[in-house]
A and B are shown apart, each in its own frame.
Chain A
Amino acid sequence: MILYLVLKEVNPLSEVKLFFGPQHPGMHGNASVHLYVEGDVVKKARLVPGMLHRGFEKSMENHTWAGNLALIPRVCVAEPDINELVFAQGVETIAEIEVPERAHYIRMIIMEMTRILAHMMSLGAIGSPTGLYTANQWMQADRNQILDLFEAITGHRVYHMYIVAGGVRKELPKGIEKRLLRFLEDFERRMPEYHALIFENPTIQARLKDNIMLPDWVVWELGVTGIGMRSAVGKPYDVRKVLPYARYDQVEFDVPVSTYSDAYTRTVMKYYEIIESMKIIRQSIDLMPEGKVRVPVAPGNALKWVLPKGQTYSVIESARGEFGYYMVSDGKTHPYRIAVRGASFPQGFLGIDRYMPGVRLDDAALWYDTMGICTPEIDR
């Protein structure tokens, strides 16, 4: 014992504290983790939130129901539309209004486009910690086409501010369906190339397969949802299936599941989800009726929208899992309280401290990536 203490004093490098933060190419967003490393193995990991903290939830209370449109998408950069939809649905529930049928289908198109966008970002990002930068560049190039489509539909590339309470902000531009289908066709042709590049790649397989496990008891313990849960417990728990919102009950799609959740499974499932998303977009375009796309939320102009008293938990399936807003209205022009249930909050906030220790240092970034952590969902 004494010998150990002496050795520890003599050799201060036995445990090294490393800062794994935004400067690291494998890190997503402005998060940081303090890693305590012995040799190659992470012995302790401490999440240090705060770098991104903008007080989203509190700020929402200071914006009107209409004005919040500009703030909420910023809770998740890679997939902003989930915030818009979840907020809009919450407002609609509290105000007890019915959204026009056409708007539901437009919403589904937007949601699946953004899901593809987020998965592409994430699949490309797997290149950063593994050294496969080609994947990242290809994905960004193809992603650019979706961003163009978003720009044409909503007016912006990243923060779309398009899905609003009562429907969507504007009618789809003329001919967008054709452009969308052309993109899907094009992208579908490219999908096998992505498969060959990423999933058939022996290096990637060596890095991801049987590595960074997510056992089912961890899923239950932390409350992981989304791909993490579906890959570990083999149950198709998907909000789109269990609590269908928009018109997800009108379209056919599968939810890929698995019972063996290593980094590879979790990554390849994103690939299969993209295929399902494309199916949904095609069906939505076919099923979309003509008609209005928006109904007023409350009487009067947007400065004077008042919602009745009420509360609701609005929930949807994001690319990373169950994403919800708990919203309270006290009958005024501003929300009384909004609490964000970030999809990756459980694994991001609790999981890092508890289950990152034990991985090798070079897998730390992969752990962060394949657990599907979106930093602003922790830091909000």
Chain B
Amino acid sequence: MDKIKKLFSPIRAWKYAFNKPVTLPMEDIIDRPRESQNNARGFHVNDHTLCIGCGACSEICPTEAIVMVKRAGIEDKDGALAERPTIDYGRCCFCALCVDICASGSLKMSKAYLLNATSPDTYYRMPEVSFDSSGGDKIGYEKTSESDLLVLERQGMEQVASEEARESFMEILKGFSLEQARIEAARCIGCEICVKTCPANMHIPEYIDSIWKGDLKKGLVQMYETNPLPGVCGSVCTHKCETVCAIGNRGESVAIRWLKRYIVDNAPASAYEEGVVQPVSKPGRGRVAVVGGGPAGMSASYYLRTLGYEVDLIESQAQIGGVARYGVPAYRLPESRLNKDVSVLEKIGVKMILNTKVGEQVSLEDLGEQYDAVFLSTGLPESRSLTMEHGDHPDIGYAMPLLAAARSYLRGEGPAPEVSDNAIVIGGGNVAFDVARTLLRLQREKGIEGEVKLVSLETEDVLPADLEEIQEGREEGIQYFCGFGPQAVAVEEGRIQGLHTVKCLSVMDAACCFNPVFDHDQKSLISGSQIFVAVGQMNPHSYFTQSLLDQVKFKGPRIQVSQWGQTEGLPWLFAGGDIVQGPDMIHAIADGHRAARGIDQYLQEKWRENA
């Protein structure tokens, strides 16, 4: 009986002969393919308007199926490259690591899984916004916060608390520790988008990589390839690189500036000696004078010296550094870090002629005759003044003299600048904040519990200063009067009593030109016994004689030069830095580098013709 039961046991399966089959007919597979599940990893789709061409997908692809190819109709721009990923589906294994690491979040996977073609070329394609087969317009696999392979949060940097910071000129940012620097460096994907945006085209991914690998000497060498002032830039650069950082698309950009500072602070002396100083060749090709020892002049001196020229750096002040030494406050750039950069110039044999003002002790024409070429980088050492009633009052101070005096005082070279207990600063840029915060510190040094007021045309949301300046300034106790136009200085009995202002409605007109509109009905008086003007810097170009002025072309206040820094009328005269670009340190450094190459090209050509 048991045996018979056993025999019939499998026959029960026959009941399914009358059921609907679970298998699909062939027509259904081709014409009505099943839709994939929501999470399916099908063929890729890529939104080219979001994609920034960083190539992280190509970098992580385990099968090396992704190649970045320049796409027609897309141009390189700040923050995005023209390349887009192409995928060889003969190699792709659909692991979606590319989607997980995508910096912009543009790369996703569709639900499409069918692609039948006779030509193998069909399987090599650039993903578009949708895929041209069934399910291609539906998104399957997407990145989530868990599957994200990038680190979006920046390493926090320790800084001195505002209450403590405003008491002295000590540096506010304490710098990365080894651990922090390595973690921060490991966030970089090495896409080089920042390199194109940096005015000096610094080798950013390379030096960040050197931190990650613990080889600071290599990082230092990489930095000096394009920037001989890494210490200065590591502290006060305008970091255009960070604004375009690929990681910044969805998270906080990599702290490129602070990583640069980390290398300068932590590279051993031997790294400077072996990596930077020793490789410089002996002089012997020609003599070049560099006028002005600011960032542009220092940069030009370094590269001219590395190209084999004898360089005389002529500086009007007692020390090299320009705005880095006489402008930027010490709490942002301490002297020691600047000296590190300057000492490299000294070690490679740049001859520094200090306390010499071109136009007074020596004329520019004489320099042109004595030297093979002259690089002019005198910067913007003087402050612009404001035209208003009592604007010529002798107690009105200006930004540049105050900042210079404050630095000299800290070095022990001069007396402390005069400060009152109620100071007004006019201006809304970084310099105005430098002045205000410097005044605050000077007040504290003197034991005055005073007030510092900052008056700007722009409202707070459009202040030209950096966000961190605005925030730190507020924390330190500076009072903001944003959106006020100064009209007159209130003077009583020959002493400043305050500033008469009116409401400023807008600063820029429709064509984005400076054209402030005021509401003269809304008047107010801001009280204060001292006024500092920080509304821009300028250069009187006092060294230009009339005959030189006739030959040099200007574009507004700026000297017009060729791509290599050469002035049009005077082939021996090269110019760069703030007098050409306007105030920005990294542009000045880049100018110095370009001019050094320009001078080299010019002299080599000249000598070849004369030979």
Shortest distance from the beta carbon of B118 to any chain A beta carbon, whole Å:
25
Shortest distance from the beta carbon of B63 to any chain A beta carbon, whole Å:
7
Residues of the B chain whose Cβ atoms lie less than 8 Å from the Cβ of A10: none
B93 touches A70 (CB 8 A): yes
- The chain A residue with its CB closest to the CB of B12 is A196
Complex Cα spacing A67 to B57, Å = 11
- The chain B residue with its CB closest to the CB of A69 is B95
B12 touches A193 (CB 8 A): yes
Type the 1/0 row for A295-329, where 1 means its CB is closer than 8 Å to any CB of B.
01011111110100000000000000000000000
Residues of the A chain whose Cβ atoms lie less than 8 Å from the Cβ of B100: 169, 302
A96 CB–B CB distance under 8 Å: no
A201 touches B95 (CB 8 A): no
Shortest distance from the beta carbon of A126 to any chain B beta carbon, whole Å:
13
Residues of the A chain whose Cβ atoms lie less than 8 Å from the Cβ of B150: 301-302
Residues of the B chain whose Cβ atoms lie less than 8 Å from the Cβ of A68: 62
A170 CB–B CB distance under 8 Å: yes
- The chain B residue with its CB closest to the CB of A100 is B146
B7 touches A197 (CB 8 A): no
Shortest distance from the beta carbon of A300 to any chain B beta carbon, whole Å:
2
A151 touches B146 (CB 8 A): no
B543 CB–A CB distance under 8 Å: no
- 8 Å CB interface, A198-256 against B: 198, 200-203, 205
Shortest distance from the beta carbon of B487 to any chain A beta carbon, whole Å:
54
Type the 1/0 row for A124-147, where 1 means its CB is closer than 8 Å to any CB of B.
000000001010001001001000
Residues of the A chain whose Cβ atoms lie less than 8 Å from the Cβ of B190: 303
Type the 1/0 row for A46-66, where 1 means its CB is closer than 8 Å to any CB of B.
000000000000000001101
| B interface residues, how many (CB within 8 angstroms) | 46
Complex Cα spacing A153 to B140, Å = 12
Type the 1/0 row for B1-36, where 1 means its CB is closer than 8 Å to any CB of A.
001001101101100000000110000000000001
Complex Cα spacing A201 to B61, Å = 50
A87 CB–B CB distance under 8 Å: no
- 8 Å CB interface, A262-292 against B: 292
- 8 Å CB interface, B69-109 against A: 93-97, 100-101, 109
B38 CB–A CB distance under 8 Å: yes
A299 touches B183 (CB 8 A): yes
- The chain A residue with its CB closest to the CB of B95 is A70
| A interface residues, how many (CB within 8 angstroms) | 49
Shortest distance from the beta carbon of B520 to any chain A beta carbon, whole Å:
56
- The chain B residue with its CB closest to the CB of A144 is B22
B141 touches A66 (CB 8 A): no
- The chain A residue with its CB closest to the CB of B6 is A202
A169-B147, A293-B146, A301-B150 as given contacts; A151 in contact with B97, CB under 8 Å:
no
Complex Cα spacing A156 to B95, Å = 9
Residues of the B chain whose Cβ atoms lie less than 8 Å from the Cβ of A170: 39, 144, 146-147
- The chain B residue with its CB closest to the CB of A59 is B62
- 8 Å CB interface, A141-171 against B: 141, 144, 148, 151-156, 159, 161, 167-171
Complex Cα spacing A294 to B100, Å = 14
B182 CB–A CB distance under 8 Å: yes
Most chain B C-beta atoms within 10 Å of own C-beta, residue among A68, A201, A203: A201
A67 touches B41 (CB 8 A): no
Residues of the A chain whose Cβ atoms lie less than 8 Å from the Cβ of B603: none
B187 touches A301 (CB 8 A): yes
- 8 Å CB interface, B169-199 against A: 182-183, 185-190
B62 touches A69 (CB 8 A): yes
B97 touches A301 (CB 8 A): no
A134, A152, A205: the one contacting B39 at CB < 8 Å is: A152
Residues of the A chain whose Cβ atoms lie less than 8 Å from the Cβ of B13: 134, 138, 193, 196-197
A71 CB–B CB distance under 8 Å: yes
Residues of the B chain whose Cβ atoms lie less than 8 Å from the Cβ of A148: 37
- The chain B residue with its CB closest to the CB of A195 is B9
Complex Cα spacing A298 to B149, Å = 11
B146 touches A301 (CB 8 A): no
B367 CB–A CB distance under 8 Å: no
B59 CB–A CB distance under 8 Å: yes
Residues of the B chain whose Cβ atoms lie less than 8 Å from the Cβ of A153: 39
- The chain B residue with its CB closest to the CB of A200 is B9
Most chain B C-beta atoms within 10 Å of own C-beta, residue among A138, A173, A304: A304
Residues of the A chain whose Cβ atoms lie less than 8 Å from the Cβ of B144: 170-171
Shortest distance from the beta carbon of B159 to any chain A beta carbon, whole Å:
21
A71-B62, A151-B39, A155-B141 as given contacts; A301 in contact with B12, CB under 8 Å:
no
B12 touches A173 (CB 8 A): no
B212 CB–A CB distance under 8 Å: yes
B9 touches A301 (CB 8 A): no
Complex Cα spacing A118 to B39, Å = 23
B12, B63, B101, B182: the one contacting A303 at CB < 8 Å is: B101
A161-B96, A299-B151, A300-B212 as given contacts; A196 in contact with B10, CB under 8 Å:
yes
- 8 Å CB interface, A45-104 against B: 63-64, 66-71
B22, B23, B41, B187: the one contacting A300 at CB < 8 Å is: B187
B151 touches A300 (CB 8 A): yes
A200 touches B146 (CB 8 A): no
B330 CB–A CB distance under 8 Å: no
B40 CB–A CB distance under 8 Å: yes
B183 touches A66 (CB 8 A): no
B189 touches A301 (CB 8 A): yes
B259 CB–A CB distance under 8 Å: no
Shortest distance from the beta carbon of A2 to any chain B beta carbon, whole Å:
52
- 8 Å CB interface, B102-160 against A: 109, 140-141, 144, 146-147, 149-151
A155 touches B146 (CB 8 A): no
B62 touches A63 (CB 8 A): yes
B60 CB–A CB distance under 8 Å: yes
Shortest distance from the beta carbon of B179 to any chain A beta carbon, whole Å:
9
B56 CB–A CB distance under 8 Å: yes
Residues of the A chain whose Cβ atoms lie less than 8 Å from the Cβ of B97: 66-67, 69-70, 302
B39 touches A154 (CB 8 A): yes
Shortest distance from the beta carbon of B310 to any chain A beta carbon, whole Å:
44
Complex Cα spacing A54 to B351, Å = 64
A66-B149, A193-B13, A293-B146 as given contacts; A300 in contact with B183, CB under 8 Å:
yes
B22 touches A296 (CB 8 A): no
Residues of the A chain whose Cβ atoms lie less than 8 Å from the Cβ of B109: 155
- The chain A residue with its CB closest to the CB of B94 is A156
Residues of the A chain whose Cβ atoms lie less than 8 Å from the Cβ of B95: 69-70, 159, 161
Residues of the A chain whose Cβ atoms lie less than 8 Å from the Cβ of B62: 63, 67-71
Shortest distance from the beta carbon of A196 to any chain B beta carbon, whole Å:
5
Shortest distance from the beta carbon of A112 to any chain B beta carbon, whole Å:
20
Shortest distance from the beta carbon of A190 to any chain B beta carbon, whole Å:
11
A302 touches B60 (CB 8 A): yes
B3, B6, B41, B189: the one contacting A156 at CB < 8 Å is: B41
Residues of the A chain whose Cβ atoms lie less than 8 Å from the Cβ of B183: 299-300
A299 touches B23 (CB 8 A): no
- The chain B residue with its CB closest to the CB of A166 is B146
Residues of the B chain whose Cβ atoms lie less than 8 Å from the Cβ of A152: 37-39
A303 touches B189 (CB 8 A): yes
- 8 Å CB interface, B446-474 against A: none
9 sample A-B contacts, Cβ–Cβ < 8 Å, listed by A number: A70-B62, A134-B13, A141-B22, A155-B40, A155-B41, A169-B146, A302-B60, A302-B100, A304-B186
> Which 5 pairs from chain A and chain B are nearest by CB?
A300-B186, A302-B149, A70-B95, A200-B9, A67-B62
Apart from the given pairs A154-B39, A171-B144, A201-B10, 5 other A-B contacts in the complex at a CB distance below 8 Å: A67-B62, A144-B22, A196-B12, A299-B183, A302-B60
B-contacting residues of A (Cβ < 8 Å)?
Answer: 63-64, 66-71, 132, 134, 138, 141, 144, 148, 151-156, 159, 161, 167-171, 173, 193, 196-198, 200-203, 205, 292-294, 296, 298-304, 306
